[in-house]
A and B are shown apart, each in its own frame.
Chain A
């Protein structure tokens, strides 16, 4: 009985274009939903998670000395050979890099240098806005690398595009689980 009723209902729906009406109602509903666009360069930008692999930075130890021991393991493991390290011996007799250059134009941000480093001296930070008109400007030296921003403290949030994220920025997120990309997307 119910099957017959179902069939009749299907036929009535077919005759009055119920499926088309369904589709129209869906798109109409979506028209009044919020957009998921992040207006990146204009208004908002994304603050990456702490695991994000952005621009490299070199770390200092407690005395403010560069941690790097110029072992060249990062240069060796780099799949695109974009790190160049030349060691020297400083006043205290420690091995330190005289030259530490990363060619960001060739780097693929795999993070292997970070993994290979025995002194925990190099890591990939949170900075991602370093595009340039000249690939020559993308070769970054030792002193610049020491000044680059580190890993994000929190992250996973949308902040105002003008906010300077060079230093560690704490973002107030209403969602404790991090930014929910799906919040405006209906899932049925």
Chain B
């Protein structure tokens, strides 16, 4: 009986997580277009629903009813596989991400995470590494020059930025003496890691921008020179998969930044429920992502590589060394 309850709970949590992650891109696209509009002194979507609130639904219906076109020269199997490969990793990663300690419902303690892995951080980075397959398969299978160029660039970008990103969080792991995200948050109960690890956060955030392929590092879909990058040839629901995956990665980067550097669900000054604190912090980082997108231009490819290898990598290395020395 207990086993059934526990299993049911896990299934329920996973279903809830998937539902939230699939539905969150709807308000996020609306928000992004609204913020973009405000920053450019426009109004953004206004006509579908109140202040365009139903615009994402209309977009979704449009994408679902569009022709699912596969180019004649495409590798059909890989072409169909790529969106799924791009979509799955961000969802899988959230299994290891804690959203709070626990809440008691009807007398039973329910933990706000699906699993408390002791190597959660490693798991996160390992699974996010798979994301690159979706990109390169999508670009290769479409058999189009824009898509191939975009996927090659993205592939190089994601691999080179994963390295500083991985190094940047080592400082955090050293401070918390654990790779479990839960323990990392608990270790920040008094002082957030951003105080000890400003450089680590900087490297992590910049690399996170690059990982989620957002401006200023959105070389994957540099509209000006590549059409839409690796998903140029995608249409309809498969294109929607790529969009959802992009937003999920943006969320994931925000969530990781909050957990690793901004104390997770630990609040300051204002006593709010932990989950509310967590959501507020994540919302702030999502806003920062959107804000960056409509402020900065895109980096050139060689600049991108120079930043990754010549700035971020040495910085993250130095961060590890300095943290280690301080520990001794």
Residues on A lying within 8 angstroms of B by beta carbon are 20, 23-24, 26-28, 30-37, 39, 42, 184-185
Contacts and interface: CB of A to CB of B under 8 A. Distances in A.
Contacts, number: 38
Interface string B29-63: 00000010111111100110000000000000000
Contacts of A23: 295-296
Contact residues of B: prevailing secondary structure: loop
Interface residues of B, number: 15
B26 to A, nearest CB: 22
A28 B40 CA distance: 10
Contact of A27 (B37, B39, B43, B46): B39
Contacts of B35: 31
A31 B39 contact: yes
Given A27-B291, A35-B37, 15 more contacts: A20-B296, A23-B295, A23-B296, A26-B295, A30-B38, A30-B40, A30-B41, A31-B35, A31-B39, A32-B38, A33-B41, A35-B38, A35-B41, A42-B47, A184-B41
17 contacts: A24-B295, A27-B39, A27-B295, A28-B291, A30-B39, A31-B35, A31-B38, A31-B39, A32-B38, A33-B41, A35-B38, A35-B43, A36-B41, A36-B42, A37-B41, A42-B46, A184-B41
B50 to A, nearest CB: 13
B41 A34 contact: yes
Given A20-B296, A27-B295, A35 B39 contact: no
B294 interface: yes
A27 B41 contact: no
A184 B41 CA distance: 8
Given A30-B38, A31-B35, A31-B38, A37 B295 contact: no
A144 B38 CA distance: 44
A39 B38 contact: no
Contacts of B39: 27, 30-31
Contacts of B292: 24
Contacts of B43: 35, 37, 39
Contacts of B295: 23-24, 26-27
B295 to A, nearest CB: 4
Interface of B: 35, 37-43, 46-47, 291-292, 294-296
A185 B42 CA distance: 11
B244 to A, nearest CB: 26
B209 to A, nearest CB: 12
A185 B317 CA distance: 45
A30 B40 CA distance: 7
Contact of A35 (B42, B291, B294, B296): B42
B42 A37 contact: yes
Contact of B294 (A20, A27, A36, A184): A27
Contacts of A28: 291
A185 B41 contact: yes
Given A31-B35, A39-B46, A24 B291 contact: yes
A15 to B, nearest CB: 12
Closest 6 pairs between A and B when the two form their complex, measured CB to CB? A27-B295, A31-B38, A37-B43, A27-B39, A23-B295, A35-B43
Contacts of A39: 43, 46
A33 B35 CA distance: 12
Contacts of B47: 42
A26 B295 CA distance: 8
A37 B291 CA distance: 21
A19 to B, nearest CB: 10
B48 to A, nearest CB: 12
Nearest to A37: B43
A32 B35 CA distance: 10
A32 B296 CA distance: 18
B218 to A, nearest CB: 16
A184 B42 CA distance: 11
A186 to B, nearest CB: 9
Contacts of A42: 46-47
A42 to B, nearest CB: 7
Contacts of A35: 37-38, 41-43
B270 to A, nearest CB: 23
